[in-house]
Amino acid sequence: ESRLILALDVYERERALEIARETADYLWAIKVNWPLIIGSGLDIIPELKEETGLPVIADLKLADIPNTNRLIAGKVFEAGADYIIAHGFVGSDSVEAVMELGKTIIVVEMSHPGAREFIQPVTDRLIELANRLEPFGVIAPATRPERVAYIRSKLKPGIKILTPGVGAQGGKAGEVLKAGADYIIVGRSIYASDNPRESARQIYEEVRAWS
Ligand code: BMP
């Protein structure tokens, strides 16, 4: 089974479906973020599932009060999303509102440089939250493999680590898998390449070499 997740951050429905079709053989799942939902509507979720047969992760980074998180997550799970990504810093009640409706992934540390300002100082607290609530997984930064190793050492076994930041943001697939990531998330290095299928295949082979 593949450990590669495609971050399909394009606007257009046709382009999204085409890239998904071309790369599906090498993927574990497809991650849908706001750009695609805004550009193509929520129906893109069932369409991608039908086209590829792969699970869809809705990367909404929900960060609202429990009731609003519930209202949003309810519609998105109903549309067919298999997983939803939620922020943990808003508190356990907000995360639990999502977890009651379906499989959830909590952000414990982000991959961009600015994550050092506010998220990284509370990563330990977010790991504690994840250990208490036991979501499907957490998001950790492929751009900082040493942080992935740290997060793995503190996180309950069984909770998956999903790592964005490979490729365009500078992270290396091999390093982050060695550090303990379960899945890597790749966007631009695949969808913005001249040959998305070939790019996905190359990353898939690299991931397989580490599995
Ligand atoms: P790319 O490989 O093009 O950098 O895309 C990374 C994807 O992962 C984007 O959808 C981005 O929003 C998301 N992401 C991230 O890069 N860092 C995080 O910490 C959390 C994310 O969800």
- For residue range 136-179, what is the model confidence (pLDDT) as tens digits? 999 999 999 999 999 999 999 999 999 999 999 999 999 999 99
Residue 13's pLDDT is what? 98
In CATH, what class is 4-209?
alpha beta
pLDDT at 211: 77
Report the C-alpha gap between 198 and 195 in whole angstroms: 5
Catalytic residue among 31, 49, 61, 178: 61
What's the confidence (pLDDT) of residue 139? Answer: 99
| Interaxial angle between packed helices 13-23 and 44-52, expressed in degrees from 0 to 180 and rounded to the nearest 10 | 30
Q: Residue 90's pLDDT is what?
A: 98
What atom of ligand 1 comes closest to residue 59's alpha carbon? 22
Residue in 6, 9, 60, 83 to alter for ligand 1 test, most ligand atoms within 8 A of Cβ? 9
What pLDDT was estimated at residue 119?
96
Residues of the chain with pLDDT below 50 are none
* 61 is annotated as an active-site residue: yes
- Taking the CA atoms of 13, 207, 54 and 200 in sequence, report the sign of the dihedral they define: positive
* Other Cβ atoms within 10 Å of 12 Cβ, number: 12
> For the chain, which residues make up each domain, given as ranges?
4-209
Give the count of beta carbons closer than 10 Å to the beta carbon of residue 14: 9
Task: Please tell me whether the interface predicted TM-score (ipTM) of this complex is above 0.90.
Answer: yes
